Amino acid sequence: MDVLSEAITAMRSGRPESFLSTACAPWGLRFAARDGVAFHIVLRGSCWLLPGAGDAPVALGAGDVVLRPHGTEHGLADDPTTPLTDIVQQPDGQWALNGELNGTGATTRILCGAYRLKRTREHPLLSGLPDLIHLPANIGTHRELRAAVELLGRELERPGPGSDAILPSLLDTLLLYVMRACLTDQARTASSGWAAALADPAISTALHAIHNRPAHPWTVETLGAEARLSRAAFAQRFTTIVGQPPLAYLTWWRMTLAGHALTQSDTNLRTIARQCGYASEFTFVRAFTREYGTSPGRYRRTHRTPETADTS
């Protein structure tokens, strides 16, 4: 898998949540802060995003996509002055309005939802994103994202056989396309950070080597050889762009994979240790305990996901 796909996969928890709504002005929705990534797509009509924290409202039109990578509280409304109604999540995971959106004015069709993430091991690729990503529906830009939005809109408007499986897959595809579009836009001006790292041929090659072969006994020299740079030049370039030395990132990623494996599978510690590049279980346990502040066994018992526990 590539770096972006693995970063998302390692942080994801459960299926994406979404709801489709037709709102007639006047209407306003308030979305509480949450551990996840919130998204909104305007399928028809127009509205305003209210970012909160004193930030100026953002006008949204049909086809616009908005992502709140850090789950910050925000609102949507037909007009910035319209009072907001709370959106609440019920115990079964379904979303519900704490009121009605049955006005008599202009109609807006919107898709709202969220991806659940484990913030305890947030990948720096995500933590470095701005609080608001707004991708307007400009003709000729991010065509793959536009195609995904169109497919998603059609499936929601006219569900058919297989929709229950198709929709989560399309929502996952949407997230990756939004992330790709954002990183592509950032890479045009960024000199450091993950957008710049993935756009830099040498650093991107080294990152993909780490992600494709985390168990390999990497050194700064061998990673530099992958990037076709000298040891010193590679170490300096990687640290400047990514924000941490190459072996520090390697260790962080190995431990992230280990934590994911412990909570998502029944794989034994010896196998996980080997998959993460540790020659012995003892060495792995010591490294894991130093990183997480608890043993792998205790971490598995306290962080195991309900989905995994139900099948074990």
Domain annotation covers residue 299: yes
Beta strands at 28-31 and 85-89: parallel, antiparallel or unpaired: parallel
Residues 251 and 291 in one domain: yes
| DSSP assignment letter at 102 | B
Q: What is the C-alpha to C-alpha distance for residues 84 and 29, in angstroms, rounded to an integer?
A: 5
Residues 169 and 204 in one domain: no
Q: What is the C-alpha to C-alpha distance for residues 173 and 60, in angstroms, rounded to an integer?
A: 22
Q: What is the mean pLDDT of each run of 10 residues along the chain (312 residues)?
A: 83 80 91 88 95 90 93 94 84 62 86 83 85 86 88 87 90 90 87 91 96 96 97 97 96 94 92 95 96 94 65 40
Q: What is the C-alpha to C-alpha distance for residues 307 and 312, in angstroms, rounded to an integer?
A: 9
Beta strands, E only, 16-145: 17-24, 28-31, 36-44, 46-50, 58-61, 65-68, 74-77, 85-89, 95-97, 107-116, 133-135
pLDDT of residue 309: 47
CATH of the domain at 300: 1.10.10.60
Residues 178 and 287 in one domain: no
pLDDT of residue 311: 41
Last residue of a domain, one of 119, 154, 187: 187
Last residue of a domain, one of 187, 221, 246: 187
Tokens of 35: 């551990």
CB atoms within 10 A of CB 307: 12
Domain annotation covers residue 105: yes
pLDDT of residue 153: 85
Domain annotation covers residue 182: yes
Last residue of a domain, one of 130, 159, 187: 187
Residues 151 and 221 in one domain: no
pLDDT of residue 91: 62
Contacts (Cβ under 8 Å, ≥6 apart) of 162: none
Residues 86 and 220 in one domain: no
Domain annotation covers residue 280: yes
Tokens of 167: 């929709």
pLDDT of residue 216: 97
Domain annotation covers residue 24: yes
pLDDT of residue 192: 87
Domain hosting residue 97, numbered range: 3-187
Q: How many structural domains does the chain have?
A: 2
Residues 292 and 257 in one domain: yes
The residue among 115, 171, 167 whose CA lies nearest residue 145 is: 171
Q: How many helices (H) and strands (E) does the chain have?
A: 13, 11
Domain annotation covers residue 261: yes
Using an 8 Å Cβ cutoff, are 221 and 231 in contact?
Answer: yes
Angle at 109 between CA 106 and CA 112, to 5 degrees: 135
- CA dihedral over 183, 184, 185, 188, signed as positive or negative: positive
pLDDT of residue 307: 53
Residues 183 and 204 in one domain: no
Residues 276 and 167 in one domain: no
**Cis check: omega of the bond before 51, within 30 degrees of 0:** no
Domain annotation covers residue 192: no
Q: What is the C-alpha to C-alpha distance for residues 192 and 198, in angstroms, rounded to an integer?
A: 10
Residues 156 and 205 in one domain: no
Residues 148 and 229 in one domain: no
Residues 7 and 155 in one domain: yes
Residues 137 and 214 in one domain: no
Using left for φ > 0, alpha for ψ between -120 and 50, and beta otherwise, residue 243 falls in: left
Domain annotation covers residue 195: no
The whole-model pTM stands at 0.82
